[in-house]
Amino acid sequence: MARHSFHISTDWPGLRNDVGTLSSENFHTKISIPPEMDGPGIGTNPDEMLLGAAATCYIITLAAMLERSHISKRDLQMTSEGIVEVEKGVITYKEIIHRPILTLGPSTTKKDITIAEKLMMKAEQSCMITRAIKGNVTVSVAPEIHM
């Protein structure tokens, strides 16, 4: 069994509405509470970070599955939406919706399209981040395929 560790450093100099920093080997950004939650909205926030983790995991997983299945893709782009509810002062991350747009190559067959459609749904179930939040956050996929 292989194990991997990932490391993040944070610095939070003040109270609730201050601005901190988040750093890793590959990035450095400011962090604060988003304006939707009465924060300063500087840099990123936990809600965007969770959405970013789920989105990057999904799109990388999908790209790997397409490659292994020899599906000729010209382009793969995606928007993702995170839905957070606030009820009686309790904030709950409810849902993530991925909207991938896959553009296939000119030599694509009908069979390739069928496989690509299945992979676009399967990638969500195979993603490590989606598996980690399963049972707490609903994750769905609304895929598009273009030629």
**What is the mean predicted confidence (pLDDT) over 106-118?**
95
CATH no. of 46-146: 3.30.300.20
Mean pLDDT of the chain: 96
- φ, ψ for residue 100, nearest 5 deg: -75, 145
The residue extents of the domains of the chain are: 1-44, 46-146
Length of the chain equals 147
48, 58 contact by CB (below 8 A) = no
pLDDT over 90, % of the chain = 92
**What is the mean predicted confidence (pLDDT) over 6-19?**
96
Q: What is the pLDDT of residue 63?
A: 98
**What whole-number distance in Å separates Cα of residue 104 and Cα of residue 20?**
42
Model pTM? 0.93
Q: What is the pLDDT of residue 89?
A: 84
**What is the mean predicted confidence (pLDDT) over 28-48?**
95
| 123 vs 107 pLDDT, higher one | 123
**What is the mean predicted confidence (pLDDT) over 93-111?**
96
